[in-house]
Chain A
Amino acid sequence: MPLDASLVGKTYPPTEPYEVGREKVREFADAIGDPDAAYRDERVARELGHADVVAPPTFAVVVAFRALDVIVADPDLGLDYSRVLHGDQRFAYTRPVRAGDRLSATATIDTIRAAAGNDLLTVRSEIATVDGEHVCTATTTFVARPAAAEDAAEQR
């Protein structure tokens, strides 16, 4: 079933604030096997000019996915999440994510299009502090594979 293209341009409500915790940053860094002290040691982070420990460059996905979860579950869109793969991901940072940040993501459907039998859904998530300071733009493309052609995603 094709996705409803009339939803292009729709902006969803901002997500509930997500507070970036030091231990969560450490857990994320551990999960990607990265021993960098700037993720763990406030003193090292300060020497690099940061107010607190910083998060790895892809950490913003934790916040962005909270917004994407709402879109994926939007009955108006009609997405079958069991057939969805991550197609593209991009981050553009105004400043790094730091421990102590209270972040909210506001997601907008940028494009919906069909390619090689798949539906491609591109969502732009603007991540900002609760005080309105922009931190990161995360742009995500999901590939929804048709049920009948399992290989389509690999062939595009």
Chain B
Amino acid sequence: MRPRWEDVEAGAALPQREFRVTRANLVRYAGAAGDFNPIHWNERFARAVGLPDVIAHGMLTMALAARVLTEWAGDPAAVVEYGVRFTRPVVVPDDDTGATLTVDATVGDKLDGRRVTLSLTARCAGVGVLSRARAVVQLA
């Protein structure tokens, strides 16, 4: 059921989502996106350049957070603007559990043209990993 612009209220929270991110997810994303930076799969390299361990692609974190928007909007193409700042790396340990990303989104302003703004938060181990995460979504 796609939300209608008339029915959406400023301040409304979208359903919270949790996403598991393992090393296998990083390898898969690297292949799909063509981003083979070794900081996302090579622990030895990551530590050599001063990172605590292998970290997730920022773009994977951004993509996972966007799922909260697209699932709510009911049409992936409804996301007409989307921006984030990557404030902290999502560290992905070499185990079966990986990292857990918790994403929340809240409706901000209702705009002309049946659009709404949304702000998002993404946390990993209780710490925010995105800031200035905002989107504009075109509603039906």
Seen from chain A, the residues whose Cβ lies within 8 Å of a Cβ on chain B are 24, 27-28, 30-34, 36, 38-39, 48, 50, 54-58, 61-62, 65, 81-83, 85-93, 95-96, 139, 145, 150-151, 154
Contacts and interface: CB of A to CB of B under 8 A. Distances in A.
Contacts, number: 112
B85 A34 contact: no
A56 B33 contact: no
A83 B49 contact: yes
Given A55-B76, A92-B81, 19 more contacts: A27-B31, A27-B32, A32-B29, A32-B32, A32-B60, A32-B64, A33-B25, A34-B70, A36-B70, A36-B76, A50-B77, A58-B59, A61-B33, A83-B50, A86-B57, A91-B82, A93-B77, A93-B79, A96-B77
Contact of B79 (A33, A57, A65, A83): A57
Given A57-B70, A61-B59, A93 B76 contact: no
Nearest to A81: B37
Contacts of B86: 85-89
Given A38-B77, A58-B62, A85 B82 contact: no
Interface residues of B, number: 40
Nearest to A58: B63
B33 A86 contact: no
A103 B87 CA distance: 30
Contacts of B25: 31, 33
Question: Main SS of chain A's interface residues?
Answer: mixed
Nearest to A152: B50
Nearest to A34: B67
B29 A31 contact: yes
B66 interface: yes
A90 B81 contact: yes
Interface string B9-28: 00000000001000001001
5 contacts: A38-B77, A56-B63, A56-B76, A58-B66, A81-B37
A87 B79 contact: no
A122 B63 CA distance: 20
B66 A31 contact: no
B58 interface: yes
Most buried by A among B29, B50, B82, B89: B50
Contacts of A154: 88-89
Given A154-B88, A154-B89, A62 B81 contact: no
A85 B80 CA distance: 25
A93 B80 contact: yes
